[in-house]
Structure 1
Amino acid sequence: MLDTRRHISKLIDHAYHLSQKFVFIAFGVSFLLAFALAFIPTYSLKQDAVYTLFILLFAAGLWVSEAIPAFAVSLLIIALEIVLLGFPNFDFATPSDNWKVYLQPWSSPLIFLFLAGFIMAAAASKTKLDIWLAKKILFYVGGKPHNIITGLIGITFVLSMFISNTATAAMMMTILIPMLTHIKESNPFKKSIFLAVVVGANLGGMATIIGTPPNAIAVGILGQDAPSFIGWIGMALPPALVVTLILRFVILKLYPSNQSFIDFKIIKEVEHFDDSTKKFSKIPTVPSWKKNVTITIFTLTILMWLSGPLHHVPTTVVSLIPIIGFTLFGIIDADDISSIRWDVIILIIGGLSLGLAVSKTGLDLWFATLVSTDGLSILLLMFIFSYLIVVISNFMSNTAAANIMLPIVIAIAITISEHSTQMVVVGVTLSASFAMSLVVSTPPNAIIHASKKVDSKDFLILGAITALIGPVTVIGWLYCIDIIF
């Protein structure tokens, strides 16, 4: 036994050292490639634009290789911008405020908007509002398989509009496991209930600005031309629903149930099912006043976001309602604040700072000159970059992919038609959410795959269909809106 433990310990140490070596190799290769591509060729660029090109290429290499965490890349981007762009010719002795501009994204209104989303998610989780809502809906949809799938996709989709898809998928897992006890082992329908959550979690975030980080990055890059909260919903929700409905049909066809009725109403009384002990655990008691306060703040915030054109209160100002409300009533405490996904927020900040540098130094205009726009229509541009970002986002974070691609997309779009810039950026951004072909493509995929109830090939089939029909649906809808309005 002792020898076995020593052997395992040696294997773990060996694996650790190999991973460390990979980190150094990937970091070094990313740096050398970025340096060679940025500084060796002669470009018609100013010095600060060349430095920005180096930062962009270096960040892209690190994001693709995942040599270091994605949020760490964002911090590195800001540091490099301050050193390389904030102090011309590395003159630190001369007083300069140029470097401060690259820290401005830390105070961007979008950060408070996203922070509000995370705090709302924490409040819903802490008061069990999310689980209560999900179980209420599933209890009333009935026991017919197609209704169960509709309910699962629907509640996951809606929750992902305002809560991170990672948190939503994790929460839904507490409901899915108990459901399995009411489904026959030989029933392929078991896979369909997990894939329903994958679809709802990945596509629901498309519908709102706070639903997924790429949406926030797009809004930041568009600036004054960005759609409002309700405007984004109008552009994103219809195509997201259409693709979701198509995938619902696909799931039911690929994994049909051999049971005409499934009785799982017992799950309304439980929160968690331990698969190892085969026992249910009761929902912890939450004071009713906390639930009522949470529901009230949720309702007020969402209604204020949706009715922005009527009261004209900025979306970010509305975001202060949940931020202040949940902390004021003690529903969110210091521990909850520390557990917020600050890494995601830092990733967004890094993307905004990178986009700012690309625009400020004129690198975006140079990228635009590299692409011949003669005969290139807005529609063709959208198709090219929408499918390109789907492919890229399957192998790396869709947030990182948006950070890299959107500054280039907007620069090229402006040279073709300034009027359609918003449509192009939104279309490409939304297409990033259709990347769900691999286990590592999105956090919900990884969470569902960890249940060992779904195989990698199941993601590949569903993801391939999504990648094909998704961008077409989005582009078609946005083009119709552009023509009408």
Structure 2
Amino acid sequence: MIITALLSMFMSNTATTATMFAVVIPVLGALPAGRPRAGLALSIPVAANVGGIGTPVGTPPNAIALGALAEQGYHISFGSWMVMAIPLMLVILFGAWLLIAVMFIPAGLGIELEMKANWHTDRKAVTFYVIAACTILLWMTEALHGMSANVVGFLAVVALLVTKVMGGEDLGKLSWPVLWLVAGGIALGDGVGKTGLDAWILGLFDWNSMPAVVVIIVMGVLGLAMSNVISHSAASNLLIPLAMGLATGIDGMDPVTIAVILALACSLGMSLPISTPPNAIAYATGEVMMADMAKVGIIVGVVGTALLVLVMPTVWSALGLL
């Protein structure tokens, strides 16, 4: 789960899950049939979903939140996002591991495996390792050099193309629909604000009579609930612009807080195979029952969202991030 979460911080959750299952399939075959296999199969999508919240590039809801904040003149650096999200990510990841171990792994169960590593050391591989390391380092040191995460990401692509590690055919294999979905969501959020639709929808409820903390809780729960039945990106696209409009009209409500909370809450929806592609990949193995996925997903999502809305704003304020 640790490896999956680390990869998911910098790769798409779907690609991470597919990569990990390619490695884990032999391990699944070595485990006793039934709950041990289900537990291992479930651990990968859970770790991928949780790991994605750790960086701005980990999952689309993070980018959607940053785009919405940028439209309102707020900027969160790559490093600041990591400081805000990684503590929560680690707590949820540990809790999810403990839950899966208790629910699925019998006491005393152990296996011995011998797997040969396939560490490439050719020119393209070494070049990629260097560019990837430099990209991550530049992302994490934005405060020192001033280049935004977008510029750093673009430079990494240029470097990969110039060194011929990637070619035009590789660009064609990118998940362009996902990229357009994120871009469309940012445009949708801008349109919601400029047309006054956010004010009209928010005017249907007397939000001003609620304390800011109650509004944050309601939005977090709504983000979690919606992201279980529609895609995380769609839930973020719908809710973040509305919440940003709401934040400007309520005393004590910080737009950065509500946007980040919604982005993270939307990434914690993982109770159904349709909730997120990593869940669908795990379910397709045939080792996971929907009831087990629902139990784990609901517990991880509810506990994670409770920590997110009740504890993290105080932590962020104490660290001077808000």
TM-score (norm 2): 0.93
Tell me the residue number matched to 1:299. Answer: 133
Contact 1:386-1:428 at 8 Å conserved across structures: yes
1:432 aligns with 2:266: yes
Q: 1:417 to 1:293 in 2, by over 3 A?
A: farther
CA distance in 2, matches of 1:482, 1:472: 17
Contact 2:28-2:40 at 8 Å conserved across structures: no
- Secondary structure (helix, strand or coil) at the match of 2:116 reads helix
Q: Which amino acid aligns with 2:262?
A: V
**Residue number among 51, 55, 71 corresponding to 1:208 in the alignment:** 55
1:449 aligns with 2:322: no
Deviation at 1:252, TM superposition (A): 0.4
Tell me the residue number matched to 1:249. Answer: 98
Q: How many residues align?
A: 317
Deviation at 1:484, TM superposition (A): 5.0
Q: Which amino acid aligns with 1:294?
A: F
List runs of 5+ in structure 2 lacking aligned partners: none
Tell me the residue number matched to 1:136. Answer: none
- Secondary structure (helix, strand or coil) at the match of 1:415 reads coil
Which residues of 2 match residues 250-289 of structure 1 at below 5 A? 250-257=99-106, 259-265=108-114, 267-269=115-117, 286=120, 288-289=122-123
CA distance in 1, matches of 2:285, 2:94: 25
- Secondary structure (helix, strand or coil) at the match of 1:321 reads helix
- Secondary structure (helix, strand or coil) at the match of 1:436 reads coil
CA distance in 2, matches of 1:303, 1:381: 36
Q: 1:456 to 1:419 in 2, by over 3 A?
A: closer
**Residue number among 209, 225, 228 corresponding to 2:74 in the alignment:** 225
Listed one character per residue, the Cα deviations across residues 84-120 of structure 1 (whole Å, up to 9, x for unaligned) are xxxxxxxxxxxxxxxxxxxxxxxxxxxxxxxxxxxxx
Deviation at 1:480, TM superposition (A): 2.5
1:178 aligns with 2:12: no
**Residue number among 318, 341, 346 corresponding to 2:175 in the alignment:** 341
TM-score (norm 1): 0.63
Deviation at 1:425, TM superposition (A): 1.2
CA distance in 1, matches of 2:319, 2:22: 44
**Residue number among 165, 172, 191 corresponding to 2:13 in the alignment:** 165
Q: Which amino acid aligns with 1:252?
A: A
Listed one character per residue, the Cα deviations across residues 256-304 of structure 1 (whole Å, up to 9, x for unaligned) are 2355431112x235xxxxxxxxxxxxx6x95522221111111101011
Tell me the residue number matched to 2:256. Answer: 422
Deviation at 1:361, TM superposition (A): 1.9
Contact 1:230-1:306 at 8 Å conserved across structures: yes
**Residue number among 85, 88, 101 corresponding to 1:239 in the alignment:** 88
Q: Which amino acid aligns with 1:206?
A: I
**Residue number among 134, 154, 162 corresponding to 2:2 in the alignment:** 154
Deviation at 1:254, TM superposition (A): 0.2
- Secondary structure (helix, strand or coil) at the match of 1:394 reads helix
CA distance in 2, matches of 1:261, 1:171: 24
Larger Rg: 1
Contact 1:235-1:478 at 8 Å conserved across structures: no
Compare 410-419 and 204-213 and name the one that shifted more: 410-419
Deviation at 1:197, TM superposition (A): 0.6
Tell me the residue number matched to 2:192. Answer: 358
Listed one character per residue, the Cα deviations across residues 211-259 of structure 1 (whole Å, up to 9, x for unaligned) are 1111111111111213111111111111111111111100000012355
Tell me the residue number matched to 1:43. Answer: none
Listed one character per residue, the Cα deviations across residues 326-367 of structure 1 (whole Å, up to 9, x for unaligned) are 111111112111010000011111111111111112222333
Contact 1:389-1:428 at 8 Å conserved across structures: yes
- Secondary structure (helix, strand or coil) at the match of 2:217 reads helix
- Secondary structure (helix, strand or coil) at the match of 2:33 reads coil
Q: Which amino acid aligns with 1:172?
A: M
Contact 2:198-2:241 at 8 Å conserved across structures: yes
Tell me the residue number matched to 2:46. Answer: 199
Tell me the residue number matched to 2:297. Answer: 463
Tell me the residue number matched to 1:44. Answer: none
Identity %: 31
Contact 2:17-2:48 at 8 Å conserved across structures: yes
Contact 1:423-1:482 at 8 Å conserved across structures: no
CA distance in 2, matches of 1:329, 1:176: 32
Higher RCO structure, 1 or 2 (CA under 8 Å, sep 6+): 2
Deviation at 1:450, TM superposition (A): 0.7
CA distance in 2, matches of 1:315, 1:472: 29
Tell me the residue number matched to 2:312. Answer: 477
Listed one character per residue, the Cα deviations across residues 192-215 of structure 1 (whole Å, up to 9, x for unaligned) are 211111111111111111111111
Contact 2:39-2:101 at 8 Å conserved across structures: yes
Tell me the residue number matched to 2:207. Answer: 373
Which residues of 2 match residues 81-160 of structure 1 at below 5 A? 153-160=1-8
CA distance in 2, matches of 1:250, 1:394: 19
CA distance in 2, matches of 1:418, 1:335: 50
Listed one character per residue, the Cα deviations across residues 395-451 of structure 1 (whole Å, up to 9, x for unaligned) are 111101111111111111111137611101111111001110111111000001111
Q: Which amino acid aligns with 2:219?
A: F
Q: 1:372 to 1:483 in 2, by over 3 A?
A: farther
Contact 1:297-1:321 at 8 Å conserved across structures: no
CA distance in 2, matches of 1:419, 1:370: 19
List runs of 5+ in structure 1 lacking aligned partners: 1-152, 270-282
CA distance in 1, matches of 2:237, 2:251: 22
CA distance in 2, matches of 1:418, 1:325: 44
Q: 1:171 to 1:445 in 2, by over 3 A?
A: same
Contact 1:189-1:258 at 8 Å conserved across structures: no
